[in-house]
Amino acid sequence: MQNTTKRLMVWAVVVALIVMIPLAMQFTNEVQWDEAVAYSVILLAAGGFYELWQWLKTRTRAYRVAFGIGLVGVLLLGWVSGAVGIIGSEDNPVNLMYWAVFAVGLIGSLISRFKPRGMARTLFATALVQVLVPVVALIISPEVSWGNVGVIGVFVFNSIFALPFAGSAMLFRRVSR
């Protein structure tokens, strides 16, 4: 009962803050609609992370560690891919293929209903897609700029990004036994 009250309070604060943004826009020109949407997404993400934290508290320690490693891998991949780009610069459209890595992870997690065995398979597939992105980039766009590190550097860099997914998959496989 107390947990439900906390959850309701968290979501009430999130909703109140989101509602306050357009209200503030009525009194000042300092906040634009694109900022309002961005702030709302950030607030919803914070509420979602609270829900995730509550849900993970009910899992075993090994499950939480495996989930955390996979989540850190996704966050780092999104950060690096969006900020500086992995294949060439962040403006290189080939970097959009990294959305396939996120899609495989999300869709696989939902299909497996976050069960350890399914999560292990999903994260192995995610690691495989991560490693295959530069292969596909090389096939579909041989004239793509590979930046200062070159083709080999991009393959090494992608392999490094695949390690958290593979490590998380091995931990999930261990949890499923």
pLDDT value at residue 144: 73
pLDDT above 70: residue 114: yes
Identify the top-confidence range among 15-19, 46-50, 78-82, 89-93: 15-19
pLDDT value at residue 54: 84
**Residue the block writes with tokens 């999300």:** 106
Could you tell me where the DSSP H helices lie in 26-144?
33-56, 61-83, 99-111, 116-140
pLDDT value at residue 5: 86
pLDDT value at residue 95: 87
Cα 153 off chain centre by: 23
Better-predicted residue by pLDDT, 160 or 142:
160
Please state, in angstroms and rounded to a whole number, the distance separating the CA atoms of residues 151 and 168.
27
pLDDT value at residue 1: 52
Burial class (CB in 10 A: 0-12, 13-18, 19+), 40: middle
Mean pLDDT within 142-154 = 76
pTM: predicted TM-score of the whole model, two decimal places: 0.76
Better-predicted residue by pLDDT, 159 or 90:
159
Q: Model confidence over 73-103: pLDDT tens digits?
A: 998 898 888 778 888 777 788 888 999 999 9
Question: What percentage of the chain exceeds 70 in pLDDT?
Answer: 97
Residue type, 25: M
User: How many CB atoms within 10 Å of residue 89?
Assistant: 11
Mean pLDDT within 62-77 = 90
